[in-house]
């Protein structure tokens, strides 16, 4: 097969059925397959919501349809490498069934992390040949699910339920899932590619149609329905789906058409440092990192739209009576781009992973919960050095954010004008800090990242350390009641 390596990565094992689209668009076949696969999943989601509605189809049929759709999608995008996801699922189910419940998470968590680590290492080796999209993303999603259900099964078997947190009690599983239920949960087509991760109890509520019961009044229940929890008229996801698809496609176009104009590869070119000033470099970093987020926005919004189109993700109504379809949403774009603190940025980014980190990491840590959660998050992401440069400095920025909020913010709360000034300053500071800290995450490599930071004189690292030391001494302490337990996980990814 004589295709350009850029369009047809040599180690990619997915379908070449739509390679003509790659040739026409100049987009690699792996990315073309991802988009086409997700668009077909969106179409199937609409069919699934009507043809396999809980009032028409049994739970078994709904499980089978979701599972077959997921396996087909994985095989289309990754070929035989899709078995890496299925193998992890099978091994985890075997452990869940044949080992005592209290030991299941102790076995599955480290085992799945090691397994995922091997997949990450493989990806890093393949990426040297220009390999872009591989099965590591579905494996990462599967790891979140097999570990969360492992802990949910342990919680459900816990004799002293008072030891559990409210979230653990809510998600506790008291009966081992059948093989069909387990595989359907891990591999269902709505979220097997990039998430969002839905916890097992929420997924089962969706399969049986009981996810609406939490949000409707008893007089709205159709008593003679095969499933008594189905409301007379299901809330329509159409508006939410259209909105998310449109915004997702806009970000896809940004990624395809604009991102190449601001290549991260320039950071590896010595000419870049010779021909630019300090402020030009910082501005370029802001542009590159902002544009780099577009691929995540595209993938997460499209996956969220697929879930919503199939009826998954309903979260009740707001105070104005509008439906909310954000139960498992992974991202809040406006909250990220207009955040006034690093903490607020993190709380709106990769929300499903935040929920998972809290559920399996922060609430169960046997040592410093924040540190333990940062470690879990870092290992889950992989082993590119750039990730760790971002996570380590991100921890420092988190500390600075707490310090500024405690010692500086109260001095700007006396008037509305001073509050606005503080918000503007923190907004601008957050934009600069977000770009600075995520640059290694985008660049991935260690020495090129160090070279960029050196060209900027490590200025934000220096200012961060100075702020941690000097701000408490310059500004008087201001006591505020703070819930460390509730905040820590938001600062861990």
Q: What is the pLDDT of residue 84?
A: 95
Tell me what the mean pLDDT of segment 195-222 comes to: 77
What's the whole-number mean pLDDT along residues 283-305?
95
What DSSP line would sit under 95-158, residue for residue? HHHHS-GGGHHHHHHHHHHHHHHHHHHHHHHHHTTT----THHHHHHHHHHHHHHHHHHHHHT-
State the Cα–Cα distance between residues 392 and 440, nearest whole angstrom: 11
- In this prediction, residue 3 carries a pLDDT of 56
Domain ranges across the chain: 19-216, 237-320, 332-493
Kindly calculate the radius of gyration of the chain based on its CA atoms and give it in whole angstroms: 24
pLDDT at 131: 46
Which residue stretches of 254-324 are H helix?
Answer: 270-275, 278-309
pLDDT tens, position by position, 58-104: 999 999 999 999 999 999 999 999 999 999 999 999 999 999 999 99
Band (133; pLDDT cuts 50, 70, 90): low
Tally DSSP H helices, then E strands, for the chain.
21, 0
Q: Which of 11-15, 268-272, 371-375 has the highest mean pLDDT?
A: 268-272
pLDDT band per the 50, 70, 90 thresholds, residue 5: low
Instruction: Report whether 268 contacts 448 (CB < 8 A).
Output: yes
pLDDT, mean of residues 193-199: 91
Judged by average pLDDT, the poorest of 115-119, 147-151, 215-219 is 215-219
Prediction pTM value:
0.88
Measured CA distances, 379 to 103, 192, 299, 324, 365 (Å): 22, 20, 22, 33, 15
Q: Is residue 137 very low, low, confident or very high in pLDDT (cuts 50, 70, 90)?
A: very high
What pLDDT score does 275 carry?
94
CA triple 311-316-320, angle to 5 deg: 125
Q: Which residue has the higher pLDDT, 165 or 188?
A: 188
Q: Note the pLDDT tens digit of each residue in 309-337.
A: 999 999 888 888 788 999 899 999 999 99
User: Which residue would you say has higher pLDDT here, 129 or 399?
Assistant: 399
Provide CB contacts within 8 A for 235, sequence distance 6+.
212, 314, 317, 323
Residue 70: φ, ψ to 5°: -65, -45
Choice between 252 and 316, residue whose per-residue pLDDT is larger: 252
Pull the structure tokens for residue 208.
């049986």
Is 1 exposed, middle or buried, given 0-12, 13-18 or 19+ CB atoms closer than 10 A? exposed
Beta bridge partners of 286: none
Catalytic residues, which ones? Answer: 350, 381
Structure token digits, residue 255: 């990624």
Cα distance between residue 345 and residue 340, in whole Å:
8
Instruction: List Cα–Cα distances, 186 to 123, 145, 156, 204, in angstroms.
Output: 22, 6, 19, 12
CA-to-CA distance for 410 and 492, rounded, in angstroms?
25
The per-residue pLDDT for 182 is 98
Burial class (CB in 10 A: 0-12, 13-18, 19+), 493: buried
């Amino acid at each position: 097969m004589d295709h350009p390596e850029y369009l047809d990565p040599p180690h990619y094992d997915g379908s070449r059925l739509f390679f003509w689209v790659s040739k026409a668009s100049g987009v690699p076949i792996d990315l073309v397959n991802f988009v086409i696969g997700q668009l077909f999943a969106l179409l199937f989601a609409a069919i699934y919501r009507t043809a396999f509605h809980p009032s028409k189809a049994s739970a078994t049929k709904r499980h089978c349809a979701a599972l077959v759709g997921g396996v087909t999608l994985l095989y289309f995008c990754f070929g035989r490498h899709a078995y890496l996801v299925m193998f992890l699922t099978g091994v985890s189910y075997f452990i869940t069934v044949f080992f005592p419940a209290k030991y299941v998470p102790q076995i599955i968590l480290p085992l799945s992390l090691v397994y995922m680590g091997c997949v990450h290492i493989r990806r890093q080796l393949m990426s040297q040949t220009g390999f872009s999209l591989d099965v590591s993303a579905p494996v990462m999603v599967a790891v979140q699910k097999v570990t969360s259900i492992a802990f949910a099964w342990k919680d459900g078997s816990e004799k002293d339920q008072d030891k559990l947190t409210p979230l653990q009690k809510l998600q506790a599983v008291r009966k081992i899932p059948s093989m069909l239920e387990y595989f359907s949960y891990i591999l269902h087509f709505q979220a097997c590619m990039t998430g969002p991760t839905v916890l097992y109890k929420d997924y089962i509520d969706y399969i049986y149609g009981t996810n609406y019961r939490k949000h409707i009044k008893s007089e709205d229940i159709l008593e003679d329905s095969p499933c008594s929890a189905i409301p007379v008229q299901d809330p329509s996801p159409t508006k939410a789906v259209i909105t998310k698809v449109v915004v997702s496609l806009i970000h896809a176009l940004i990624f395809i058409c604009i991102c190449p104009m601001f290549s991260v590869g320039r950071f590896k070119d010595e000419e870049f440092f010779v021909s630019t000033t300090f402020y030009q470099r910082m501005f370029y970093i802001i542009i590159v990192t902002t544009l780099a987020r577009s691929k995540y926005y595209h993938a997460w919004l499209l996956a969220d739209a697929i879930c919503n189109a199939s009826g998954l993700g309903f979260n009740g109504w707001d105070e104005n009576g509008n439906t909310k379809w954000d139960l498992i949403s992974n991202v809040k774009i406006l909250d990220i781009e207009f955040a006034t603190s690093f903490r607020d940025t993190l709380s709106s980014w990769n929300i499903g992973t935040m929920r998972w980190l809290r559920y399996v990491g922060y609430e169960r840590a046997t040592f410093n919960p924040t540190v333990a959660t940062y470690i879990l998050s870092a290992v889950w992401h992989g082993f590119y050095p750039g990730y760790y440069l971002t996570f380590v400095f991100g921890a420092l920025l988190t500390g600075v954010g707490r310090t500024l909020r405690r010692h500086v913010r109260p001095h700007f709360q006396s008037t509305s004008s001073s509050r606005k000034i503080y918000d503007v300053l923190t907004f601008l500071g957050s934009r600069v800090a977000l770009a600075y800290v995520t640059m290694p995450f985008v660049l991935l490599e260690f020495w090129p990242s160090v070279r960029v930071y050196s060209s900027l004189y490590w200025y934000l690292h220096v200012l961060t350390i100075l702020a941690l030391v000097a701000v408490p001494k310059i500004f008087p302490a201001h006591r505020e009641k703070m819930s460390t337990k509730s905040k820590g996980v938001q600062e861990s990814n």
